[in-house]
Structure 1
Amino acid sequence: MPLPATGPVTTSGPPPDYKALGSGQAKADFAAAANNRGWEFDAAAMDKVIQQLEDSINSDYTRAQNIGTLFAQVGPPGSDQVSQDYIDAAVRATTVYNQYLAGTVQYIKAYVEALKEVRTAYANHDQTAIDALRGTRKVD
């Protein structure tokens, strides 16, 4: 049976917690790398990754969010019903797109914050924090 051509889109359940997902993924990535034999922490490499992600948020994602906001404000091309239906569909799509962008930015920001935690733990030689981020526990 085909999906309806118009009408509201419904989803079930709450939206994902992008902040928790981003933080968890960064920690999982770190744990996988750090628990690999021969891996060494490289502050300069981590700083470069952090900078690239922050630059992406501040340029690419900000530009996309601005365009999405402007697009949502566009009016129908005409006064007929087809034009109104078109703009209604475009606004719904833009709303979902803007929600996606907001979630992605939350995810990346949380990922960056977790990387900064790792960097700080290594800079301070905080073995307890490093073990917690690796997901390892000291055996007493």
Structure 2
Amino acid sequence: MTKNHAEKRAARAYAHSHSLPYRQALASIRAARADRISLFPFAQRLLIEAVEGCGIRHWARVEEWDGVGRATITDLGGERFVLTVDSVLVELREHLDHNPTLRPNDIDSYFADEAVQQILFGCIIYRLELHRGRGLVA
């Protein structure tokens, strides 16, 4: 078995399911892997900000957190969710397409909260009211 056996097998399956030539499917599989690797620091940062930066704490309780890339949370309704680096990649890719100059450290807890809600619920359900001195709410 070769080192790239899993990659080649995935490319054959992708080619068969999408009626593509093998080489084109292999290129797509490799591009997706490279894209995942380039997004990994952003995805890690998003999870860290959501959990440790208190982004989701106003609507969720963190049950388990490995400190890097996997969290189990429970929302106010008692439903449990598992967040991983892979689960945030789709939402993150869309955001990075609209903000190409974004760096991993530019991701804050507010964005992390909204991204996690988009991933889990498809929309923003829980709004965090920001109090800005003298009773103003943003």
Q: Which has the larger radius of gyration?
A: 1
Check whether TM > 0.5. Answer: no
- TM-score w.r.t. the length of structure 1 is 0.30
Highest RCO, 1 vs 2 (Cα 8 Å, sep ≥ 6): 1
